[in-house]
Amino acid sequence: MAALITVEQLLSRPGFDGVDEASAEAVLEDVSALVLQIAGVDPPWTVGTVPAAVVPVVVSMARRGLLNPLGRTGETLGDHTWQAAGQGTAGLYATRYEERIIRRAAGRLGAATVNLEAGLPLPVWRGGGFGFEDKLLDAL
């Protein structure tokens, strides 16, 4: 499967210094597969047809997959400690905000219809009987 952006496009962005091109290509293929599954578009997007709004999502997902594959949110090494404030441990997977961006770009905003069924009988005026409508009519 082809990636949605090229390795060169990914590595030209800040923060990817020293990243192995083979690893970047493998992660981009994984990220692209996930993005295409979320988008559900037919025909699938390619490098030339991917919407511009989806490119930063692919970069963000690839960044997490390459630079923080274990999804760590903090670390302590001797006296040095760091904590990622406000970030979830999504790892390679899309966050709910990224999923929303992908679906919006694909034109799948989530509107749908749902058929509801109830186990209750219909009221008399809707054609269902409760069994006492004859008594009510006789009383009138």
Q: What's the average model confidence in pLDDT over 133-140?
A: 58
Whether residue 4 contacts residue 35, with contact meaning beta carbons closer than 8 Å, is answered with yes
With H, G, I as helix, E, B as strand and everything else as coil, classify residue 107.
Answer: coil
pLDDT of 6 > 60? The answer is yes
Domain count for the chain: 1
Q: Which residues pair with 74 in a beta bridge?
A: 83
Global pTM value: 0.70
Q: Residue 2: inside a domain, yes or no? A: no
Residue 50 is assigned to a structural domain of this protein? yes
Question: Closest Cα partner for 30 from 96, 87, 94, 107?
Answer: 94
Which range of residues forms the domain containing residue 23? 7-71+89-106
pLDDT in tens, 57-94: 999 999 999 987 777 778 888 999 877 665 555 678 89
Q: How confident is the model at residue 108 (pLDDT cuts 50, 70, 90)?
A: confident
- Please give the Cα distance from 54 to 95 (Å, whole number): 13
Structural domain includes residue 22: yes
Annotate 104-116 with b (16+ C-beta within 10 A) or e (fewer).
ebbeeeeeeeeee
